[in-house]
Amino acid sequence: MRRFQFLDLKLVLALCLCSAFLLVDAGYETEPEILCPPHLVRGCKNPCFGSCANLAGNLIMCPALCELGCICPKGTYFQGDDCVPAYKCNVNCLKNKHFDPCPRFEEVSCQTMNDKPRPLDTCLPRCSCNKGYVLYKDICVKKNLCPNV
């Protein structure tokens, strides 16, 4: 399973748990009232998602739960207090990686470097390996340094 798919799965889980968040008041189920500024929308707040800083994919542990709050609209991310599209994010990727706001193909790894590139169905911003490098155990290495696979 690719790393960004794992993070997406966690986001889906967090969104599901968050949307199921209900308060019981005298036997009636009601969602808590949250008023958001005009540039934000009501949604599931999780510290691991929704900000430009998180797009680098260097997250170690993330909470599975989130709280209902104000978030950036779909397709935008917090950079400070502003919501910006991914291509305007200042993302610091790890060594031998660069930020790609909308990769068109799956990340090439030592195991897949001889296969035909597989297109992605959705646009998921990520740090990708630089040209001439491939993914090996979450780091980017020169193709000639891949172990025999």
Residue-wise pLDDT tens digits, 88-118:
999 999 999 999 999 999 999 999 999 999 9
C-alpha span between 19 and 15 (Å, rounded): 6
pLDDT value at 13 more than 50: no
Mean pLDDT of the residues in the chain:
80
Of the two residues 90 and 28, the one the predictor is more confident about is 90
Pick from 43-47, 49-53, 59-63, 129-133 the range whose average pLDDT is largest: 129-133
Looking up tokens 């470097």 gives: 113
Quick one: pLDDT at residue 45? 85
- Compute the average pLDDT of residues 33-39: 89
The average pLDDT across 12-20 equals 41
Q: What is the mean pLDDT of residues 20-48?
A: 69
Contact between 140 and 96 (Cβ < 8 Å): yes
Two tokens, residue 117 = 């590139």
